[in-house]
Amino acid sequence: MKITEFLQQTAVIDDLVGSTPDEVLTELCRPLSASTGLETQRLAETLLDRERLASTGVGDGLAIPHGKVPGLSGLVAGFGRSRAGVDFNAPDRKPAALFFTLFAPESGRGLHLHALARISRLFKNTAFRESLLQAKDAAEMYQLLVAEDAK
């Protein structure tokens, strides 16, 4: 599985401006709303519901907010960078600067878990995370994601 199968370049945001998890999650959902036809608020609520169960801040400046949405036909993802960082209750207590958002169909349990595992493997690479933080814009961030995903 390649993340570029479900991540479109239009869903990459290079400068998230939100300063709270709620604001950042809503911001990340806007381009996904346009591509799926689902309301931004509905997508954001799905992520916020998941955050209430346990934080998706995984540490090393990364958060992987995710959830299942009825009506989706396949995986949909977004990616964003916050230059300021946002407290996402990560185990290492560091703010998250990179956000990979994933939505799966309600019936896509195995697919959802497989995608989360792939995302986690990609982002374990410290040099890769640093390159995303240093990228000049969303286009460069997407190209870095494509290149890492091809390895």
Q: Which residues are catalytic?
A: 66
Please state the separation of Cα 16 from the chain's center in Å. 12
Give the β-pairing of 76-86 and 96-105.
antiparallel
Other C-beta atoms closer than 10 Å to the C-beta of 138 total 18
Residue 101 β-bridge partners: 78
